[in-house]
Amino acid sequence: MYRYDEFDHTFVKARVAEFRDQVDRRLAGEITEDQFKPLRLMNGVYLQLHAYMLRIAIPYGTLSSRQLRMLAHIARTYDKGYGHFTTRQNIQFNWPALSDIPAILDDLASVEMHAIQTSGNCIRNVTADHFAGAAADEVADPRPYAEILRQWSSVHPEFSFLPRKFKIAVTGADHDRAAIQTHDIGLHLKKSEKGELGFAVYVGGGQGRTPMVAKKIRDFLPEQDLLSYCTAILRVYNLHGRRDNKYKARIKILVHETGTEELTRQVEAEFAALKESDLKLPEADIRAIEAYFTPPALPERAEGWAGVAAARKADAGFDAWLRRNVVAHRHPDYASLTISLKGIGEVPGDASDEQMDAIADIVERYAFDELRVSHEQNLVLPHVARADLKAVYDALVDIGLATANAGLVTDIIACPGLDYCALANARSIPVAQEISTRFGSQARQEEIGDLKIKISGCINACGHHHVGHIGILGVEKKGAELYQITLGGSGDENTSIGEIVGRGFGPSEITDAIETIVETYLANRTDQSETFLDAYRRLGAAPFKEALYGSEAKAA
């Protein structure tokens, strides 16, 4: 993985010292809250309902055991013994004191981490496929490019005060696990007919109150033009993006109002001027960054095949876990696996300090010291020998993290919602817990098959509800929580925005409504191979409306 060089160390240390001084001056009353707020946000510090919240960047979701142990240490020392992994592959701590945050940032800097640009109207943490560098279907590892973008975008003088926040995601496989079409810029790493690496470039995707699927504005951008082209996009956005209305300030609105064709023309014109500038990436520089991501040497471990076959026969839990949480690795003796942070009835994305420490031990011992955070709020071990899968599974059972539900109905994304968040209108986590408990039976979940439920506690859509196969949006109506359901959303290579199915449901009705939808799917699917999403796309909303609202739906 990427290691800080002298410049990076000096830069992050200087930033911590600067923020320590800003915090000291704020606590001494030398600067006002209005002056301080943008400064703290640039360092990932929010104020929520109960306390401050610190959001720490995990570039493209990649962590070492040493970094994970430091996160455990922070949870234990400065917070309340747990952290929350987010849909931007980051981690949040919900209870730090402002006065402790400089010390936390010092600790983070000691393991090459920081919280810079995890908030504010700047380029946020660049995300990537959580199976990057390991997936059997990958063209190339997207993370070197994500790292190049990270370096380029960190305190970029021209792009630190954009009209609004800006999110970039990169995938290196045709099957998009990074949801690139819901990003401000989505990059699909691919090979040209000549075998050269480059990107299909998507612009203007996003969720929030105006969800939009990104538009492809380039079918193939050579890799050396990555920064000049992204600069061209950002420059057009910075110049023309709306600053008069926060809700219309994302690039998706600019793309929509300008038109894809005209926006593409503007970007291409800017790109033509930049193409041969200093932004052109020298081949040697790309390969130098790529070298940091050289996959671990994977010795032949063919004995794993027989071992796994015997172990799964003897242990039904292990068998289910293999079915759901283990995916193909490009090396046949290895696998990538998902550590579900979605235990039945548990809080999606939360991990305790003890769990983080125990996972760090597993990562070090069995996973070549590499861990990923997925945007689905799970953890991923990208490289594990099949021969070690049973040992890893047993270790996960010991810490309560062996739930075999990756991609199933209980693998729910949920934002923190009204239990923590100052922006939320309704709770998300308790809704996720209740649905998870209702569908907790392993047999029932597997019978239902792949189904992504995503829950947001307000229209900002941090829980990605627009692209949930079943999306749930919490709103406040007449002082009470109300949950709107959308159906048919998807955040992959066939991205679609879910459609509102009808009137909302109260907190005591929402789980029943979800069950009605699931039962309707089961009753109408052609067979078990037709997933919920496929069935919805074939059937449309009508049978679901009928099941949920009956005669009311007919009258409407």
Partner 1 sequence: MKILTANRLTDGEAVWLAADHSWAETIDLAEIARDKAAEEKLECTGRAAFLKNEVVDVALVDIELADGAIRPLRLRERIRAAGPTFRSDVGKQARPAVPHAA
Pick the stretch among 49-57, 135-143, 255-263, 492-500 that binds partner 1 (CB under 8 A): 49-57
How far apart CA 385 and CA 361 sit, in angstroms, is 16
Verify binding: residue 344, partner 1, rule CB under 8 A.
Answer: no
- CA 337, 3, 66: angle at the middle one, nearest 5? 55
How far apart are CB 455 and partner 1 at their closest, in Å?
13
Q: In which residue are the tokens 């800003």 written?
A: 22
The token pair at 225 is: 């033009």
For partner 1, the closer of residues 312 and 438 by Cβ is 438
Please list the residues that pair with 55 across neighbouring strands: 92
Among 95, 368, 505, 521, binds partner 1 (CB under 8 A): 95
Closest CB 485 distance from partner 1, rounded Å: 20
47 binds partner 1 (CB under 8 A): yes
Beta strands in 395-540 (DSSP E): 413-414, 453-456, 470-477, 480-487, 499-500
Q: Is 99 near partner 1 (CB under 8 A)?
A: yes
Q: Which structure tokens are listed for 263?
A: 């926006």
For residues 24 and 300, which CB has a smaller minimum distance to partner 1 in the complex? 24
115 belongs to the binding site for partner 1 (CB under 8 A): no
Binding segment for partner 1 (CB under 8 A), chosen from 97-105, 310-318, 321-329, 331-339, is 97-105
Give the pair of three-digit tokens for residue 284.
């040697």
* Listed ranges 23-31, 123-131, 291-299, 528-536: which one lies at the site for partner 1 (CB under 8 A): 23-31
Cβ burial, residue 299 (10 Å; 0-12/13-18/19+): exposed
- Separation CA 248–CA 209 (nearest Å): 9
Residue ranges in 462-481 that form contacts with partner 1 under rule CB under 8 A: 479-481
Which of these ranges, 94-102, 204-212, 358-366, 382-390, lies near partner 1 under the rule CB under 8 A?
A: 94-102
Q: Quick check: 98 binds partner 1 (CB under 8 A)?
A: yes
Question: Does position 309 bind partner 1 by CB under 8 A?
Answer: no
CA distance 182 to 401: 29
Q: Which is nearer to partner 1, 2 or 82 (CB)?
A: 82
Q: Which is nearer to partner 1, 39 or 391 (CB)?
A: 39
Contact characters 25-44, partner 1, x per CB under 8 A: -xx-x--xx-----------
DSSP letters along 1-56, please? -----HHHHHHHHHHHHHHHHHHHHHHTTSS-HHHHHHHHHHTTEEE-SSSEEEEE
508 sits near partner 1 (criterion: CB under 8 A): no
Q: Return the number of other C-beta atoms located less than 10 Å from residue 506's C-beta.
A: 12
Q: How far apart are alpha carbons 346 and 356 in whole angstroms?
A: 16
The count of chain residues that interact with partner 1, using the rule CB under 8 A, is 28
Given candidates 67, 171, 433, 484, which one binds partner 1 under the rule CB under 8 A? Answer: 433
Q: Rounded to whole angstroms, how far apart are CA atoms 169 and 239?
A: 22
- The first and second tokens of residue 46, run together, are 């929010």
Contact flag: residue 50 with partner 1 (CB under 8 A): yes
According to DSSP, the residues that pair with 193 across neighbouring strands are none
Binding residue (CB under 8 A) for partner 1 from 48, 77, 160, 460: 48
Residue numbers at the binding site for partner 1 (CB under 8 A): 26-27, 29, 32-33, 47-52, 80, 95, 97-99, 347, 418-420, 424, 427, 429-430, 433, 479-481
